[in-house]
Structure 1
């Protein structure tokens, strides 16, 4: 949920509370008068879009033309990478020229906007649908964003290599590491999970911890990763990751989103993590590879629990003197044009709304048909309550900025580096990480 958008059109994770523009937003926005709601004058709608793939940009261009013809209202679409979005939103509010609708990719930012009363509840749009697990993030019963997709980090694996080596899909850390070791052969490496101080590592490398039952905070926001229950689990995870590191290609410290994606699509690693974009990239760049790749959730050490790393994107409607027009537009976009939007990245935009999966219009897409079994598997991961669905930025008892601060400080990747690169004792690496977490959330 984190993070940047696109390096060469590739979804990376959201930029969480980046810089003073986010963390200082309360001061920046305090004292602003709340504008009147639901004005009826048909003014242009200012829409901030952060999905910058070619097909998605083409969709929004068509959408603006169609809505002008339908409703007589102009939609002005401003498209920027997601790491620039929150600054654009807050600058617009401060300058008195706010966006009416905006793409937000971190629930902590939604929380900040809601606390400052700069966005409106969207229950009238969300309540009529059923949603996947852990995606609406209500605040006192009010839903302040419209999540349009999941971007789950899943483990991809080479089905053809598993068959050739007689390997089974693993359900324990030991079995997974053994498979990675068995598939190292020449330039082909066993896996790639980033360990650098970047969003890719935060998103791709820690769901093994969530499967193991590790939590960063208790219900009172105390850091607990180093308590008597969590510390041994976290230390065992570091030992496991050190074992995996020996099967990775050189450069795992520098690896980012595009590196993992390109290695999976090229077939140079047998395992790696990413969202549905892998299948779209394989279909485009290496069609034979798409059929060789399977997906699995992250597993725990004992074979009892699975997890996926959370990711998501959504829209907010800002409280402006044009909110009425914006809500009418959003109802049209999220009903009449929702399928068309999702088709602009058909496997990567995993629906958050459960009715979409059974919508024949949505299923009538070449890539969705091609990867139908994998898409059904992805659906199960967000409807099966036994699958842990969380991430660094969604840890804790409720939506809050503190997990975002932990994300942005790269505490967790540094813990990996201390173990793997500096050969620090695992328990000591966990203790150092806990101390830094306590410092950054003060």
Structure 2
């Protein structure tokens, strides 16, 4: 499954954060503050792509040739897994041979590049559209990236098993845990939510907590995870996850993105989290299972709030002597070719731009027509203001590098491990984690 950005390794973002000299999420990129050696006028547009599915690679090859024929400007596409992107971007800047447009999958990297003046605002491309919730991440009104899709983690469930056992889609933690317990049978387990120190756990396992109203930071960047308001909610989440754990397959501690995907597609778990890639993989590898998979949002304990775990992808334009032509290329890519690009992974590439959902060209796709119900559910999650769309790395009042430090530390998965594997009291586990986060963010 090399076409999945999350399968470049369970620490995809962590590796990228450690790129460029092991910097992690520092407040500056060492060596990048110096003026870049700009590309010569008329030079080809160097495009760094990190969507490596066969269809997407073919699209960019064809698009580059079409753009050169149309404008005379060559576009050189370099495709790498997302985990290598930030290192490629920073190495290119240091060497004086920068990319001009690049795929970025972590808002912390966008912020670091913007702080060092290495990328330009893209408001002239983004301002003319309406966007889904919590996706542009503006800094002082300036938007530094063009988000092309959401990668929301949603809960997949077996519709056929629900019908067989007379189960209803749950609205509460108790209902969800009860369904997971009811569907354990032989080698089939009730659910799989990773708890290991990896990106899969960061992405897939905490939206129950976001639905409960838990926040890591307040509006002044104080750590409030263990505050009188948040600690009981976070502790209740840990108790809930401890209840789910016996319904999971062996090896949940080591579970990766690939493990969750393969278990869902094979039907060996009744519930699990992932983005739209599950449907596309099941259509290819197990079509009978694809038709039995439904999706639901994460829920809170009382049945009053829903959530999805945030994920996203976008493009940045670097500040070089080729910025003007690069912006022209980006305008063409994001208008004339946007639908064709999204169709290369039609269910997985959930549009961030709201106009696309009603674009007849986008809707005229076999997969989009077949899974219209699921796609409509996905749209509602990013247009309904009552739905919480957040993640560890997007916590806090405004876009900032501090949540990224929490993400790369795996402090939150280790809180799960304290509770589930070590038997730590839930409140104590929350307190320990909050103290660690304070040390991380200073």
State whether TM-score is above 0.5.
Answer: yes
Listed as ranges, the matches of 1:7-406 within 5 Å are 7=7, 14-15=13-14, 17-19=17-19, 20-24=22-26, 26-33=28-35, 41-406=41-406
The answer on whether the counterparts of 2:25 and 2:108 sit within 8 Å (CA) in structure 1 is: no
Cα drift, residue 218 of structure 1: 0.7
| Aligned partner of residue 136 in structure 1, secondary structure | coil
Cα drift, residue 31 of structure 1: 3.9
TM-score, normalised by the number of residues in structure 2: 0.96
The answer on whether the counterparts of 1:29 and 1:116 sit within 8 Å (CA) in structure 2 is: no
Cα drift, residue 439 of structure 1: 1.2
| Aligned partner of residue 157 in structure 1, secondary structure | strand
> CA 1:6–1:209 in structure 2 vs 1: closer, same or farther (change >3 Å)?
closer
**Distance in 2 (alpha carbons) for counterparts of 1:224 and 1:6:** 29
Cα drift, residue 29 of structure 1: 3.7
**Structure 1: where are the runs of 5+ without partners?**
none
The answer on whether the counterparts of 1:13 and 1:200 sit within 8 Å (CA) in structure 2 is: no
| Aligned partner of residue 77 in structure 1, secondary structure | strand
> CA 1:174–1:31 in structure 2 vs 1: closer, same or farther (change >3 Å)?
closer
Aligned length: 436
> CA 1:27–1:148 in structure 2 vs 1: closer, same or farther (change >3 Å)?
closer
Listed as ranges, the matches of 1:417-436 within 5 Å are 417-436=417-436
Cα drift, residue 11 of structure 1: 10
Q: Any idea what the Cα deviations from partners look like across 1:130-176, whole Å, max 9, x if unmatched?
A: 11010001111111000000000000011110111011110110010
| Aligned partner of residue 17 in structure 2, secondary structure | coil
**Distance in 2 (alpha carbons) for counterparts of 1:437 and 1:254:** 23
The answer on whether the counterparts of 2:11 and 2:198 sit within 8 Å (CA) in structure 1 is: no
The answer on whether the counterparts of 1:347 and 1:367 sit within 8 Å (CA) in structure 2 is: yes
Q: Any idea what the Cα deviations from partners look like across 1:199-226, whole Å, max 9, x if unmatched?
A: 0000000000000000000111111111
**Distance in 1 (alpha carbons) for counterparts of 2:105 and 2:188:** 34
RMSD: 1.7
Q: Any idea what the Cα deviations from partners look like across 1:26-51, whole Å, max 9, x if unmatched?
A: 252454226789x9x43200001111
Q: Any idea what the Cα deviations from partners look like across 1:31-84, whole Å, max 9, x if unmatched?
A: 4226789x9x43200001111111111111111111111110111111111111
**Distance in 1 (alpha carbons) for counterparts of 2:377 and 2:345:** 18
Cα drift, residue 231 of structure 1: 0.6
**Distance in 2 (alpha carbons) for counterparts of 1:407 and 1:6:** 15
| Aligned partner of residue 90 in structure 2, secondary structure | helix
The answer on whether the counterparts of 1:120 and 1:317 sit within 8 Å (CA) in structure 2 is: yes
**Distance in 1 (alpha carbons) for counterparts of 2:376 and 2:256:** 27
> CA 1:408–1:342 in structure 2 vs 1: closer, same or farther (change >3 Å)?
same
**Distance in 1 (alpha carbons) for counterparts of 2:176 and 2:410:** 26
**Distance in 2 (alpha carbons) for counterparts of 1:291 and 1:275:** 16
**Distance in 1 (alpha carbons) for counterparts of 2:190 and 2:32:** 51
The answer on whether the counterparts of 1:5 and 1:11 sit within 8 Å (CA) in structure 2 is: no
Q: Any idea what the Cα deviations from partners look like across 1:202-254, whole Å, max 9, x if unmatched?
A: 00000000000000001111111111111111111111001000100001001
TM-score, normalised by the number of residues in structure 1: 0.96
| Aligned partner of residue 28 in structure 2, secondary structure | helix
| Aligned partner of residue 316 in structure 1, secondary structure | strand
Cα drift, residue 88 of structure 1: 0.8
**Distance in 2 (alpha carbons) for counterparts of 1:235 and 1:94:** 46
**Distance in 1 (alpha carbons) for counterparts of 2:107 and 2:61:** 27
| Aligned partner of residue 144 in structure 1, secondary structure | coil
